[in-house]
Structure 1
């Protein structure tokens, strides 16, 4: 038999197996032998956990073979079953020194956050998490211009990943890098020891920590929320590349202050976008869920995802910022508005991101 014929035979057998094998059944029995065994599901086992700050933990994960290792600055969707319901959220990942087969996530405990509370308070070594594939374009600028990193709260997690990549260079970099990091109190600041040690490796790095609810007491500490005075004496600002990450309000303020003054500005907000109020916010529309054969009446003043969850529908979601596409579903008909751009769409959409869309008319969704 020729090699082409053999390949065709194997392709047919693979197609047949794909059609007749129930992956969920195989995964269930495989997990009885080894929790990380799966025919198609990316998963990881927690192999260590440490306290990162007063309300944050770092979890070290050992992924199975279906997980694509993220690049510095990327996110990954993490999920687990809590009280019989699978809850998923997206977290920035970071590398684990001298252990390239592992990855880490640092999770801040959020009031009312079901997954963050479980990860911070209940998750233990040996627990298995379901993972998505990496996403995001938050990357170190290619040009050797000055870099300004702006982080607030949990926005430090993609920054530490990028800075570890920066620190790993064989020779000290000539690139000037500054990290401006806002937290409410020094007890909430993550990775401080690592950041304070970084100038010994990369002399052109400097750290500025801003405390919004505490007085400064250390040389690297300052007080106050982000404002123009923090950058008024900045050298070579017009050639600087800015990466900003934090709540949507922080990112919006950073853009207003710096975007027109710098060479480039890249930002990611980890909180859902705020909906612009208008005269139609108190109106309601009907959403038809084709596969579930349900018709819901929802308000137009919130995202479609939030409206579905308010009706008890556990629709898949991840980042809740329109980045990961976990929540995307086909829109058959109706008008929607993008919460960030304000753009309205009336045509069919094979991948409507319901976390950053609201209804502007009656909708039919393939859910």
Structure 2
């Protein structure tokens, strides 16, 4: 019997019943900040529970079209078996706006497999967590793991020095502040530094002791103790992550970073934006004429093709497809690839010649 038929009828009895589809029901929602919502999810048995710091693809159907994006997950304190995602409302973001404004308890979401390499360092070295905007979500997951494991392992309170440097535009956009402020009471070696990049601090008494002003810069780490032995985890927009790498990567023991904004188009691709190539979609028997300087995923979507996607950063492989022939360039590394490729990530690849794709 066709699994899709079984899934269809099973869902009539319970929306989470399926032969193979990872899904989760929304069982709670709460405001995380002025522009962010935390959704509590009850997964079905097909969901692989992500590790702390990992992401998962989340999808739903909006106006008859399935839309997917990637979000960091965390376990819900004192509620084993549940997952949480915190979603920032993004202007023009179809899924983020639906999740923030329309999603309600009882709605079912489709989930993908966990991905991402963020993890707490194995060594008891100082840890610097750098987060901008939505980059706080993998950090709160890691911090909850840090507190939970320290208590379980008898290392409570932990002697490991942990600092969170967190950038938001305004105070009301900061997530998890009360939880973060409570953490030093049980983990004295944790400290929070909140940077408000667009907050007016003309009245000095309005500033909290942990608050600062300004974007990321080297002076903020000039007095950092034991910087050379520190492990850095940075997450945020590509520009923020690039600045963090430039400032700290050569000064610390290890550096991990993840960016969630689309990659910048290389200068040579920008110069050829007006040139076009043809992409043949074998399964659809279609030939598209697309700009050379555009990601293949963006080109497909501009033609009304709803190709599966998730992180849009080349991390989750949701968008990967078989490239039969043609040349492509990786938008982040700049590397060119001319041979047949079984799993071309179209979100971070552009066509540099005519292509044939198994789509």
TM-score calculated relative to the size of structure 2: 0.96
2:5 to 9, 21, 25: 25
Q: Which aligned pairs between 1:59-98 and structure 2 lie closer than 5 A?
A: 59-98=39-78
Alignment of 1:1-367 (within 5 A): 21-168=1-148, 169-170=150-151, 171-216=156-201, 217-278=207-268, 279-367=271-359
Matched position secondary structure for 1:312? coil
Q: Distance in 2 between matches of 1:100 and 1:349?
A: 41
Partners of 1:283 and 1:311 in 2: CA distance? 17
Partners of 1:191 and 1:32 in 2: CA distance:
37
Q: Which runs of 5 or more structure 1 residues have no equivalent in the other structure?
A: 1-20
Give distance in 2, aligned partners of 1:86 and 1:41.
Answer: 14
CA distance in 1, matches of 2:296, 2:4: 29
Larger radius of gyration: 1
Q: Which residue of 2 aligns with 1:14?
A: none
Residues 54, 187 of structure 1: 8 Å contact kept: yes
1:229-272 deviations in Å (ceiling 9; x for gaps) = 11111111111100000001100110011111111110000111
Question: Runs of 5+ in structure 2 lacking a partner?
Answer: 202-206
Counterpart in the other structure of 1:7: none
Whole-angstrom CA distance in 2 between matches of 1:210 and 1:342:
33
SS of residue paired to 1:142: coil
Name the CA distance, whole Å, in 1 between partners of 2:2 and 2:196. Answer: 53
Q: State the secondary structure of the residue aligned to 1:238.
A: helix
**Whole-Å Cα distance in 1 between the matches of residues 266 and 334 of structure 2?**
9
Moved more, 37-46 or 169-178: 169-178
- Runs of 4+, deviation exceeding 3 Å: none
Q: How far is the alpha carbon of 1:132 from its aligned partner?
A: 0.5
After TM superposition, give the deviation of residue 280 of structure 1 in Å. Answer: 2.3
Q: Is the 8 A contact 1:74 1:138 kept in 2?
A: yes
Distance 2:167 2:17 in 1: 41
- TM-score, length of structure 1 as denominator length: 0.94
Equivalenced residue count is 347
- Deviation, 1:281, is 2.6
For 1:274 and 1:143, the matched residues in 2 are separated by 34
Please give the alpha-carbon distance, in whole angstroms, between the structure 1 residues aligned to 2:358 and 2:145: 42
